Amino acid sequence: MDLGLAGRCALVTGAGKGIGRSTVQALSAAGVRVVAVSRTQADLDSLAAECPGVEPVCVDLGDWEATERALSRVGPVDLLVNNAAVALLQPFLEVTKEAFDMSFDVNLRAVIQVCQIVARGMIARGVPGAIVNVSSQSSQRALTNHSVYSSTKGALDILTKVMALELGPHKIRVNAVNPTVVMTPMGKSNWSDPHKAKVILDRIPLGRGGECGGCHPLPAE
C-alpha cells in the first residue's frame, strides 16, 4: 500500500524495540528517511543493519540537556512518532519518588520537549506536518499497580488534544493512538503471568493482545 510518504523524513523515539522498531521498519519500507532515537546503542546498530539508510541517534530522553544537543543536529522532520516510554509498575502505597520522576520525565516531559523541537522546525520552514503520540488503553481503564504509568498516559492524552488545538493553525496534525498490551519486551516484563494477563484478555473481544513484528500474543491460561 502506497502511503504517499516516500521522500519524507520521520523521527521515531523508542525505536530500538517493540512498537517503535516495527514503526521504523514499516516507514523505511515505505521510502521514508527515518531518524531512529533510542537510548541503547546495540539496538540502534542492529536496526541500522536491518534498515539501511536509517539515521540512528542514541540519547536518553530523560536527560533534557542531552536530548536538546542530540536532536539539534537532526535535519528537517515531517513526521514525529513519540513512542518512547517506561513502565515502572508499583502498588499505589509503594510508589517511589524515583519511579514517579523517571516515568514523567520519559513518558510526558520528553514528549513535550521533542514535540517543541520538531514543531518549531516545521513552523520555521512553513510546512505542514504530523505528530503521533503513542499512549495506552491504561489511560482509560484502572489497572492494578498502574497508578503512575496510567497517570503519565492520561496526561499524554490531554496533552495531545491541547497540542492539536494550538498547532493546528500551523497545519500540524497531532493525534494519539491507545493500544492495548502488546507483547514487546516491556510488555513481556509486565504481562507474562497468564493469571495477570487474564484481566486484560477478558476485556478484549478477540481474546488476545496486540502484536507487532517479533512480538508474541498475551499468554492465555
- Residue 192 C-alpha cell reads as 507474562
Whole-prediction pTM value?
0.85
Model confidence at 183: pLDDT above 60: no
Q: Pick the catalytic residue from 97, 149, 171, 198.
A: 149
Active-site annotation holds for 153: yes
Model confidence at 173: pLDDT above 70: yes
Convert the pLDDT of each residue in 191-213 to its tens digit: 556 665 666 566 667 666 566 65
Greater pLDDT, 84 or 191: 84
Greater pLDDT, 202 or 26: 26
Convert the pLDDT of each residue in 114-147 to its tens digit: 999 999 999 999 999 999 999 999 999 899 999 9
Active-site annotation holds for 97: no
What is the predicted pLDDT for the residue at 93? 98
Confidence of residue 5 (pLDDT cuts 50, 70, 90): confident
Q: Pick the catalytic residue from 17, 97, 153, 171.
A: 153
Nearest to 1 by CA among 23, 31, 24: 31
What is the predicted pLDDT for the residue at 205? 74
Model confidence at 155: pLDDT above 70: yes
Mean pLDDT, residues 82-100 taken together: 97
Confidence of residue 180 (pLDDT cuts 50, 70, 90): confident
What is the predicted pLDDT for the residue at 215? 47
Mean pLDDT, residues 145-165 taken together: 98
Model confidence at 161: pLDDT above 70: yes
